[in-house]
Amino acid sequence: MDEEKIIAEVQSCIDCMICLDVCDTFAVTQNELLSPNGRLKIVDKIFNNKDITQEEIKSIY
């Protein structure tokens, strides 16, 4: 899968947000950074060479 396709898939998934309804981690923490959607937003920032915060870095590990 090439980079452009990955970016397009990430963007389409970010817009959906249905995953929040079934994500146990989000249900417990109410922290979007710990949800699939939050992680994809971080991936989107990385692919688009945008800065990510220390909190975002911690949330992906």
DSSP state of 52: -
The token pair at 21 is 């309804």
User: Taking the domains of the chain in order of start, what are their residue ranges?
Assistant: 3-59
Instruction: Give phi and psi for 51, each to the nearest 5.
Output: -70, 145
Which structure tokens are listed for 58? Answer: 């911690």
Q: What is the mean pLDDT of residues 6-26?
A: 85
- Spatial distance between the Cα atoms of 3 and 5, rounded to a whole number of angstroms: 5
Please tell me the distance from the alpha carbon of residue 61 to that of residue 8, in angstroms, as a whole number: 24
Looking at residue 53, its pLDDT comes to 96
Which residues lie closer than 8 Å to 26 by C-beta, 6 or more apart?
20, 32, 34, 35
For the stretch 17-52, pLDDT in tens is: 888 899 999 999 999 999 999 998 998 899 889 999
Look at residue 57 and tell me whether its pLDDT is greater than 90.
yes
What predicted TM-score, i.e. pTM, was given to this entire model?
0.75
